[in-house]
């Protein structure tokens, strides 16, 4: 073995082999049809969520947004907050390169997060590209955070204690929404949970060069994602698409996680450094031997279960 080869978690290897043996392989987004990619993603999500037990109170909602009704799913904690207080709320944007992913494929992760944190979650089924382009998804996430701040009491949550979060493309949307909330002077947003996000449109960082050449999330796929999501090249420098390049001062405190083998490792490292330089409280955990997209692999990978528990603890503390 090459001494420079990075260590890979054996459970990650086993999980990949298991998925391959069952035919759960998502085709290359740059060559397969969009319908094929989305269908394969949903099949994998269903397998990863097998055995997940619904919370006692899960509600499908259609909430008003700037481009029409936005389907959402509200997950309420099974146990009431101390003293019977209404729970805080996490508004969550799933990953999928802005062009795939759905509420059901993230059910099991969000149920675990809600159970362990005592914080409710609102999963947002924002509109996907290429059917719609930037900045529609961003505008829908911002609208859902503002709606929760304005009308959350009607959902049974505490509208004064909100967090925003997401994974991968969803973390991009979450950070951009937090910047928008800060710019609007809205005080209800207190925390961010950002999981291995793509925070810049640059795909040339050292971690991209090292980990973005083979299977999984590749440089060619990420370039295609940006070309598919954005309408015009000049939007690559828009802070709503590349929030890492925005003014981060005064944004809500953040908990960041990323795997050591993730092509987006440098995005999280750079964001953590810039938040710290801006005086924003931030914690970054790098999970060794793990690649992109691992948070939904809790039934197969112990590191994913540990990450969920640590995210839940950070979320609970950040919204206390």
Rounded to whole angstroms, the Cα distance separating 20 from 47 reads: 12
Rounded to whole angstroms, the Cα distance separating 245 from 240 reads: 9
CB 70 within 8 A of CB 91: no
pLDDT in tens, 5-26: 899 999 999 999 999 999 998 8
Which candidate in 129, 168, 207, 218 is catalytic? Answer: 168
**Six-digit token string for 233:** 């090249």
Q: Determine whether 9 is an active site residue.
A: no
Rounded to whole angstroms, the Cα distance separating 256 from 196 reads: 7
Which candidate in 262, 266, 267, 268 is catalytic? Answer: 262
b/e 206-230 (16+ beta carbons within 10 angstroms → b): ebbeebbeeebbbbebbebbbebbb
Quote the percentage of the chain above a pLDDT of 70. 98
Flag whether pLDDT at 1 surpasses 50. Answer: no
Phi-psi region of 215 (alpha: psi -120 to 50; beta: other; left: phi over 0): beta
Residue 28 has what pLDDT?
83
Mean predicted confidence (pLDDT) in 106-126? 98
pLDDT in tens, 143-153: 999 999 999 99
Rounded to whole angstroms, the Cα distance separating 173 from 144 reads: 12
Domain boundaries, the chain: 25-318
Rounded to whole angstroms, the Cα distance separating 60 from 16 reads: 32
- Name the 3-class secondary structure at 224: helix
CATH class of the domain whose range is 25-318 = alpha beta
Token pair 């050591």: residue: 260
Rounded to whole angstroms, the Cα distance separating 320 from 315 reads: 8
Q: Determine whether 262 is an active site residue.
A: yes
Could you tell me which of 59, 114, 107, 72 has the C-alpha nearest to residue 90? 114
Which candidate in 94, 108, 255, 292 is catalytic? Answer: 292
Residue 81 has what pLDDT?
57
Mean predicted confidence (pLDDT) in 285-290? 98
CB 290 within 8 A of CB 303: yes
Report CA-CA distances (Å) from 3 to 6, 7, 8, 11, 14. Answer: 8, 10, 13, 21, 22
Could you tell me which of 104, 86, 133, 91 has the C-alpha nearest to residue 228? 133
Mean predicted confidence (pLDDT) in 50-58? 97
Q: Determine whether 80 is an active site residue.
A: no
Residue 136 has what pLDDT?
98
Q: Which of 83-92, 180-189, 251-260 has the lowest mean pLDDT?
A: 83-92
Token pair 């206390």: residue: 320
pLDDT in tens, 201-214: 999 999 999 999 97
Mean pLDDT of the chain: 95
Kindly report the pTM of this predicted structure.
0.97
Residue 3 has what pLDDT?
54
Residue 197 has what pLDDT?
98
Residue 71's DSSP bridge partners are 62
């Amino acid at each position: 073995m090459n001494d420079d080869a990075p260590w890979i978690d054996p459970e990650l290897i086993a999980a990949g082999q298991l998925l391959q043996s069952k035919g759960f392989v998502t085709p290359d987004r740059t060559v397969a049809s969009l319908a094929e990619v989305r269908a394969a993603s949903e099949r994998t999500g269903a397998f990863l969520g097998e055995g997940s037990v619904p919370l006692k109170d899960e509600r499908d909602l259609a909430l008003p947004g700037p481009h029409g009704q936005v389907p959402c799913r509200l997950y309420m904690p099974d146990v009431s907050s101390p003293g019977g207080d209404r729970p805080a709320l996490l508004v969550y944007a799933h990953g999928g390169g802005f062009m795939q992913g759905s509420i059901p494929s993230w059910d099991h992760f969000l149920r675990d997060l809600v159970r362990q944190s005592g914080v409710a979650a609102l999963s947002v089924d924002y509109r996907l590209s290429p059917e719609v382009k930037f900045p529609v998804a961003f505008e829908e996430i911002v609208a859902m955070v503002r709606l929760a701040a304005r009308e959350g009491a009607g959902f049974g949550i505490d509208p004064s204690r909100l967090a925003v979060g997401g994974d991968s493309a969803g973390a991009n949307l979450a950070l951009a929404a937090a910047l928008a909330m800060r710019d609007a002077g809205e005080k209800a947003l207190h925390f961010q949970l950002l999981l291995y996000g793509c925070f810049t449109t640059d795909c040339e960082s050292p971690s991209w060069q090292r980990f973005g050449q083979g299977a999984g999330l590749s440089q060619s796929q990420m370039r295609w994602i940006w070309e598919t999501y954005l309408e015009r090249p000049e939007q690559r420098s828009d802070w709503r698409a590349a929030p890492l390049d925005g003014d981060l001062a005064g944004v809500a405190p953040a908990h960041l996680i990323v795997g050591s083998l993730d092509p987006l490792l440098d995005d999280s490292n750079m964001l953590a450094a810039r938040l710290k330089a801006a005086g924003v409280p931030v914690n970054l955990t790098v999970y060794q031997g793990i690649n992109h997209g691992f948070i939904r692999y809790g039934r197969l990978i112990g590191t994913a279960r540990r990450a969920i528990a640590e995210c839940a603890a950070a979320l609970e503390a950040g919204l206390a």
